[in-house]
Amino acid sequence: MLRLLRLIGQRTLEWLETLGRAGIVWLWAIFGLPRRGDLALFTKQIFQIGVLSLPIIVLSAFSIGGVLALQGYTQLARIGAEESVGLGVALVLLRELGPVVTGLLFAGRAGSAVTAEIGLMKATDQLSGMEMMGVDPLRRIVAPRLWGGFIAMPTLTLIFNTVAIWAAALAGIDWLGIDPGGFWAGMEDAVELWEDVGKGTIVKSVVFGVIISWISVFQGYDCQPTAEGIGNATTRTVVYSSVAVLAVDFLLTLVMYGEFK
Amino acid sequence: MRMRTIEISVGAFLLAGILALVFLAVRVSGVSLTQSAGAYKLFARFDDIAGLRVRSKVSMAGVTIGRVAAIDVDSEYGEAIVTLEIDKRIDNLSADAGAQIQTEGILGGRYVNITQGADEEVLQDGDTITNTQGALVLENLIGEFVTRMGDS
């Protein structure tokens, strides 16, 4: 009994300690950026995290948008409401699927790479080497990756949503023959700029970007400096990020769109 | 040289993001009319609004001229008070203009239809439309029909 209590206490303390370390890394890195010389590092990370994630994002967006239109059409055509495909697809993408799917892909594509890179730097003593040269690794390594993620994730989500809606229009209008006027007008009537694009796409994707970057950077920075440790840390990044994205998405939807006030 | 291509592609990436935002704002959500031209408020009291929602359309002869801004209930008289935001350009609604709650299509949402009146006087910001007709609720119609069947 006592041993069980002790185990619980030990785990809680360890967990709190990890959270505290993660908070310190985050704070230092957040305030570590605003210097002029770092702009190049920052640009390089947006390239690594954002631009290189574009192919997978565009490809997924295209197939998800097309699939939504095809599936929506088969159901809605039965009650003669096939023009509602446009607004249905747009609302689903802007409010939920866009940020969530981009978040999951982003965690798998960019988050894991960041963790592995920082972990390997730690394992090969590059981080301690920098410290010895008087270069702060938090400022030089961690901060650009964190800020790169903050910028890249919303941008990728906007691109994802645009491509997916375009793919839905392609599938719906050009293949299935939905009237283009009804398709676009229904969408314009139903979608509100702040309510759907602002709260749905932008707020959610910024929050997800912060969470995923934070988890992946911290897992790399905090990993065991061995081959196995790096592997575990990379796995943890993808698992924690995915779970966090889905859980936080639920909370955000509850707060922003829940009917109770 | 390498850095140059990276910078160019990052610039293009961010530009694509901004263009995507513009597309989502203009093409997908449509620039909202009440925000662009300015709007004024009118009130209308209905005996039953049955499914009218905040942000529902306000239209005249099928053309959207505003949105429902708020819905409150007046518990003293048992009526709903609907706040309408009407586009500034529609500034000649006469004092006896009518407001009806109608349904768009068979499964569509509810909207407020405004019909122009003949009075010389014009509705100003904050005025109330008195000539109103609430929503037709299917259950009430069926109930009335059944009681009449029983009477005859």
Q: Could you report the predicted ipTM of this complex, rounded to two decimals? A: 0.83
pLDDT at A99: 96
- Secondary element (H or E) of residue B45: strand B39-46
Of A28-32, A50-54, B53-57, minimum mean pLDDT range? A28-32
Which chain A residues touch B17 with a CB distance below 8 Å?
Answer: 154-156, 158-159
Question: Which residue from A79, A81, A90 is facing B28, i.e. has the nearest CB?
Answer: A90
Give the pLDDT band of residue B34 (cuts 50, 70, 90): very low
CB spacing of B10 vs A165 below 8 angstroms: no
DSSP secondary structure letters along A207-256: HHHHHHHHHHHHHHHHS-SSHHHHHHHHHHHHHHHHHHHHHHHHHHHHHH
Give buried/exposed letters for B89-118 (b at 16+ CB in 10 A, else e): ebeebebbbbbbbebeeeeeebbbbbeebe
- The CA distances from residue A48 to A144, A162, A164, B9, B76, in Å, are 11, 22, 23, 11, 64
Which chain B residues touch A94 with a CB distance below 8 Å?
Answer: 24, 28
What residues in chain A have their Cβ under 8 A from chain B's Cβ atoms? 40, 43-44, 46-47, 50-51, 54, 79, 81, 90, 94, 151-152, 154-156, 158-159, 161-162, 165, 184, 187-189, 191-193, 195-197, 201
Measured from the Cβ of residue A73, the count of other Cβ atoms closer than 10 Å reads 22
Mean pLDDT (chain B) is 83
CB spacing of A79 vs B107 below 8 angstroms: yes
How many Å is the maximal CA-CA distance in chain B?
Answer: 93
**CA angle centred on A65, ends A61 and A69, rounded to 5°:** 170
For residues B135-141, give the mean pLDDT: 78
Q: What is the C-alpha R_g of chain B? A: 23
Which residue from A22, A220, A251 is spatially nearest to A110, judged by alpha carbons? A220
Cα distance between residue A233 and residue A241, in whole Å: 12
Evaluate whether B17 touches A179 at the Cβ level (below 8 Å).
Answer: no
Cα distance between residue B71 and residue B56, in whole Å: 11
Evaluate whether B47 touches B79 at the Cβ level (below 8 Å).
Answer: yes
pLDDT at B90: 83
Q: pLDDT per residue over A244-255, tens digit each?
A: 999 999 999 998
Highest mean pLDDT among A109-118, B65-74, B77-86: A109-118
Q: Say which residues have a Cβ less than 8 Å from residue A144's Cβ, sequence separation at least 6.
A: A33, A38, A41, A42, A44, A45
Question: Which residue from A43, A90, A159 is facing B20, i.e. has the nearest CB?
Answer: A159
Mean pLDDT (chain A) is 89
Give the pLDDT band of residue A34 (cuts 50, 70, 90): low
Question: Which residue from B9, B27, B28 is facing A51, i.e. has the nearest CB?
Answer: B9
Q: pLDDT per residue over A74-123, tens digit each?
A: 998 888 788 888 889 999 999 999 999 999 999 999 999 999 999 999 99
- The sign of the dihedral angle between the CA atoms of B85, B90, B91, B96 is negative
- Secondary element (H or E) of residue B57: strand B57-60
CB spacing of A159 vs B32 below 8 angstroms: no
pLDDT at residue B36 is higher than 60: no
How far away is chain B from the Cα of A52, in angstroms, using its nearest Cα? 10
CB spacing of A193 vs B29 below 8 angstroms: yes
For residues A37-45, give the mean pLDDT: 82
pLDDT at B26: 82
How far away is chain A from the Cα of B122, in angstroms, using its nearest Cα? 29
pLDDT at B7: 87
